Structure 1
Amino acid sequence: MKTLTFLRPLLGLAALCAALWAVPAAAQTLRWASQGDPQTMDPHSQNESMTNMMNGQVYERLVRRDRQLNIVPGLATEWQQVGPLLWRFKLRPGVKFHDGSAFGADDVVYSVQRAQAPTSQIANYANGVGRPVKVDDLTVEFHLDKVNPIFLQHLDALWMMSKSWSEKHGVTRPLDFKNKEESHASLNANGTGPYLLVSRQPGIRTTYRRNPAWWDRHEGNVQEIVFTPIANDATRLAALVSGEIDFVLDPAPRDVPRLRATPGVKVIDGPENRIVFIGMDQHRDELLHGSVKDRNPFKDVRVRRALYHAVDIETMRTRLMNGQSHPTGGLTPSPLGSYNDADIEKRLPYDVALARRLMAEAGYANGFEVTLDCPNNRYVNDEEICIALAGMWAQIGVRVRVNAMPRATYFPKLEKYDTSMYMLGWGGAVTDAETTLTPVMRNPGDKGVGFYNYGRSRNDKFDELAAASSVEADPAKREQLVKAALREFKEQVHVLPLHRQVIPWAARANVDVVHRADNWFEVQWVNVRPR
């Protein structure tokens, strides 16, 4: 593994710098980079953090998060739960979309219904808020058919679009990204937010400018945003150190100590609400990408348990992640999701001898071959983690071929269930277990239930507990249901939990940013001071 040498000329850096400086210099221009690129400008098509964060500079929700992740007013000024199945919202008057049209109740009803469409990756959240009904131009009600104990958390995932703009440009349903559909919303956007999309060049550059007609007050001073995806870690950080870019969302963990000691650069870090785990196909009778014929080893809990016991998580934490991870046996993005239950958070021990015995008991003493699909530009050290796991599992005879690819290729592959073993990270602003239990763990169903259960595991006992917790209004009863569901899922080892990421950001010394636990980079909070 190569380490970064800041003063060494890097292949491609000159071309990168030329591209960055093609944009006229300005004191309040923010040039930043990440290893990946947003997938689409359609805010309902893909539920992926980088895509959501970029679209979140343009689009807004009825509610939003403050710096401590509390839910506060957004496009709605106030709300009231009128009854167990009825919520009423007052909309902010005078709000304009970027094309100058007025925002109102028709746009809210349209946006929620659009987000409920089958091609939407946030359908589970949109269906959770029930049926939107216009009362008047600035009042909307949500009629639920069942209790939703985290209604506001679900609402916080729903971006508001212009009904008239969508109709004009033929984008009244979210584009089908997994089948490579493109639409006007792929490269264009029209929100109400603090920045306007100026130019979208996938894989090259995305630019924004400040919205002078935004209804709120900008806390930062950034007038222009220039985002450049830079896949190579060394190139990305060399551009930061040289001053060609101002901010990096994802410096490599191995380079963080040297960055802390680099003049003119600072590191801002903290734990992220995100669990990284390995999923396995537990649906097919024979793996698509494996050597075993006429049976599926991942259907045997002993094999799944053996793989878990063979993971040397402490070596991964210290050597690969440079201490920038929190190993866990938990299944939720934050330990708060399991109510800080120590048993749920506890990992199975690293025990290769036990793992070998379990493999033999299951009839796989000689192991088997399987392909592990993995992104190479989504999570911290994602490809490197998959390679390390392959080495660990070789000790118990499981011969793993790591198939790493960019996120734009990776996630559509998973959506088609074209995988036998895969890496997934799940998290964000919500710490409640519901937004993991229902979309990621439950038996695949309709209305977004089990949409991200790409291994298609099926556990009816767990599913009943999780479903009951989704509609339980009593907090004490709900806590017991959530814990019971998580214990059952964990006992059956439907996924192999690894760790929660620690997210370091890196910036030039003159750039002030706010680090949030959901790894959300809010540009309207950024101040760029003169160098």
Structure 2
Amino acid sequence: MISIPRRRQAASALLALGAVLSAGACSVANSGPEASSSGAANSVRIVLPEEPPTLEPCDASLTATGRVTRANITEALTERDPGTGQLQPALATEWKQGSPTEWTFTLRKGVKFHDGTAFDAKAAAFSIERTVGSKIDCNVDGYVFGDVKLTVTVADDSTLKVKTAKPDPILPLRLSFVEIVPTTTSATGKVREPVGTGPYKIAKWDAGRSLRLERFAGYWGKAPDFAAAEYVWRTEGSIRAAMIKSDEADIAVGLAPEDGAGDSAVQFPNNETSYLRIDATKPPLNDIRVRQAINYAVDKDGLVASVFAGLGKPAAQVVPEGVTGHSSAIQPWPYDMAQAKKLIAEAKADGVPTDTPITIIGRNGIYPKAAEAMEVVQNSLNEAGLTMKIQMLDVNAWLEYLLAPFPKNIGPTLLQAQHGNQAGDAAFTMGQIYGSKGAQSSYGTAELDDLISAAEQDSGEERQAAFAKALEYQNKEVVRDAVLAHMTGILALSKKVAYKPNAATNDEMRLAEIHPAG
């Protein structure tokens, strides 16, 4: 992850980019004179739960940014197939490991950026150095690279060498998160509207209203079917679903069963796990008995059955099945209110201030019925003997609490969070979420840090076993969070388009995979 002192600047920069538009009056793209004059008849229209906080490529690991930016506006050297988990060529055609700490990448020739400049090894090196270990607070840096140190060398126009300070067997996978930009991109600050090599370029971003991408005529690959993509955003899921029925949108994402999408609804496993991050640095949450009690007090089966309408399943860990490092030995904490009350009473008898108010920091729209889910948690923890209150925030304000350093003088908190490991390796979870210096970590231990560090250098079966061991240690000895559920996504499609969502859809929606129906 990015080192802690840089995180506040990242959140502040995002705050400056604007707030999410509430459900409002402006009509969807493809209606009105502007849409007609811009050739919108060949546009795909997408309605999102929130406006992207930025399209900055090095923040593309943020869901609201990545679902628009990744593989649409910008591209990486490699890309992971969400169906098979296999790493595939993108802007690099091949790669090989010359030693445990050195990789050589052969780059694709004849690729142009949207501004007409050529993609080459200098641009790839610039993009990596701009993202990894730089001073512009890239979320990708913290999420993907942690404390990985890289040395990038341009061998020739189409050959790039990357060295790591210590062995890193998944470096090509990590680089699938580095979006490539031209060397003319600012290296000292973030850009709101990037230039990339992707099949679409930014045509117009009307802040607070809509975003239009247009097909890039000079794209090196196969041209996508739609000439343009029109994005708008509405906070209410029922409004997003209604826009499909009224032919104001072709795709609506982030829906719940009760939003009324009907036959247009498509369910898919979205690879997201919802959880509560416990701030274990502040009393009473610094007592492991209280953290254990929180896990016992939440009825995960009831939460999934009622609030999530049966979509998803109770979860035991934030690393789901199919991801390297998942431990089958970890089972969901059982619902046991009597045990929760017993643990809190024991802690209180020992002088732990269990009456201290604890704030649940929630995020509007993080998943359907987010506020209702936190109300269920609040009621359960109050019953167990804690004093809970809820503060629901929009995405930009919530990011202040997600990314270290966290706001000061806020008292003990539980953070409503969701983690999706579409990269398929626990390295993209463990360091950032559970490491002592992780960008999203509120607490860690030296012992867990050592287990994570050792696992990151292993490969094959040893890597799987080492990460599973670290997860098991966290679940038993640290208890830094309360994992709730593995989620199921719902989107709605109009009859005009064909699209098959996959495990990565929540984080990146590839416009080239959307086709006219029929």
TM-score, with structure 2 as normaliser: 0.87
Q: Paired residue for 1:32?
A: 46
Aligned-pair distance for 1:381?
A: 2.8
Aligned-pair distance for 1:527?
A: 1.0
Q: Paired residue for 1:494?
A: 480
Tell me if 1:94 matches 2:98.
no
Query: Contact between 1:198 and 1:208, CA under 8 Å: does it hold in 2?
Result: yes
Q: Paired residue for 2:425?
A: 432
Q: What is the distance in 2 between the residues matched to 1:483 and 1:110?
A: 35
Aligned-pair distance for 1:20?
A: 4.8
Tell me if 1:222 matches 2:222.
no
Q: What is the distance in 2 between the residues matched to 1:335 and 1:247?
A: 28
Query: Contact between 1:310 and 1:396, CA under 8 Å: does it hold in 2?
Result: yes
Q: Paired residue for 2:35?
A: 23
Structure 1, 75-84 or 128-137: larger mean CA deviation: 128-137
Query: Contact between 1:326 and 1:501, CA under 8 Å: does it hold in 2?
Result: yes
Q: What is the distance in 1 between the residues matched to 2:245 and 2:86?
A: 34
Q: What is the distance in 1 between the residues matched to 2:452 and 2:353?
A: 35
- 210, 231, 237: which is aligned to 1:233? 237
Aligned-pair distance for 1:396?
A: 1.3
Q: What is the distance in 2 between the residues matched to 1:518 and 1:381?
A: 21
Q: Paired residue for 1:53?
A: 67
Q: What is the distance in 2 between the residues matched to 1:62 and 1:19?
A: 34
Q: 1:395 to 1:460 in 2, by over 3 A?
A: same
Query: Contact between 1:368 and 1:397, CA under 8 Å: does it hold in 2?
Result: no
Q: How does 1:33-182 map to 2 (within 5 A)?
A: 33-45=47-59, 47-56=61-70, 57-66=72-81, 68=83, 69-116=85-132, 117-118=134-135, 119-124=137-142, 125-126=144-145, 128=148, 130-164=150-184, 166=185, 171-175=186-190
Q: 1:484 to 1:162 in 2, by over 3 A?
A: same
Aligned-pair distance for 1:528?
A: 2.3
Q: What is the distance in 2 between the residues matched to 1:301 and 1:515?
A: 40
Q: Paired residue for 1:7?
A: none
Query: Contact between 1:129 and 1:151, CA under 8 Å: does it hold in 2?
Result: no
Aligned-pair distance for 1:434?
A: 1.0
% identical aligned pairs:
22
Q: 1:425 to 1:20 in 2, by over 3 A?
A: farther
Runs of 5+ consecutive residues of structure 2 not aligned to the other structure: 1-21
Q: How does 1:338-349 map to 2 (within 5 A)?
A: 341-344=327-330, 346-349=331-334
Q: Paired residue for 1:180?
A: none
Q: Paired residue for 2:298?
A: 311
- SS at 1:272's partner residue? strand
Aligned-pair distance for 1:161?
A: 0.8
What amino acid is the match of 1:524? A
Query: Contact between 2:421 and 2:428, CA under 8 Å: does it hold in 1?
Result: no
- SS at 1:297's partner residue? coil
Number of corresponding residues: 477
Query: Contact between 1:45 and 1:174, CA under 8 Å: does it hold in 2?
Result: no
Q: What is the distance in 2 between the residues matched to 1:173 and 1:495?
A: 35
Q: What is the distance in 2 between the residues matched to 1:400 and 1:493?
A: 19
The one-character-per-residue Cα deviations of 1:371-403 (angstroms, maximum 9, x if unpaired) are: 111110223332221122112112113232211
Runs of 5+ consecutive residues of structure 1 not aligned to the other structure: 1-10, 176-184, 285-295, 445-449
Structure 1, 154-163 or 512-521: larger mean CA deviation: 512-521
TM-score, with structure 1 as normaliser: 0.85
Q: 1:401 to 1:202 in 2, by over 3 A?
A: farther
Q: What is the distance in 2 between the residues matched to 1:471 and 1:366?
A: 41
Q: What is the distance in 2 between the residues matched to 1:461 and 1:192?
A: 43
The one-character-per-residue Cα deviations of 1:137-192 (angstroms, maximum 9, x if unpaired) are: 1110111121112222211111101112x1xxxx21343xxxxxxxxx12x22100
Q: 1:298 to 1:13 in 2, by over 3 A?
A: closer
Q: What is the distance in 2 between the residues matched to 1:338 and 1:488?
A: 16
- SS at 1:514's partner residue? coil
Q: How does 1:436-451 map to 2 (within 5 A)?
A: 436-444=429-437, 450-451=438-439
Q: 1:377 to 1:232 in 2, by over 3 A?
A: same
- SS at 2:274's partner residue? strand
Q: What is the distance in 2 between the residues matched to 1:336 and 1:356?
A: 35
Q: How does 1:377-396 map to 2 (within 5 A)?
A: 377-396=365-384
- 447, 460, 466: which is aligned to 1:461? 447
Q: 1:514 to 1:174 in 2, by over 3 A?
A: farther
Q: 1:305 to 1:213 in 2, by over 3 A?
A: same
The one-character-per-residue Cα deviations of 1:455-510 (angstroms, maximum 9, x if unpaired) are: 2x12121111111111124x233233212111111112111101111011111122
- SS at 1:371's partner residue? strand
Structure 1, 151-160 or 417-426: larger mean CA deviation: 417-426
Q: What is the distance in 2 between the residues matched to 1:79 and 1:427?
A: 26
Q: What is the distance in 2 between the residues matched to 1:12 and 1:85?
A: 51
Query: Contact between 1:36 and 1:229, CA under 8 Å: does it hold in 2?
Result: yes
Q: Paired residue for 2:16?
A: none
Query: Contact between 1:197 and 1:209, CA under 8 Å: does it hold in 2?
Result: yes
- 476, 480, 483: which is aligned to 2:468? 483
Aligned-pair distance for 1:203?
A: 2.8
Q: What is the distance in 1 between the residues matched to 2:255 and 2:180?
A: 32
Q: Paired residue for 1:291?
A: none
Aligned-residue CA RMSD (Å) = 2.1
What amino acid is the match of 2:74? Y
Q: What is the distance in 1 between the residues matched to 2:42 and 2:368?
A: 29
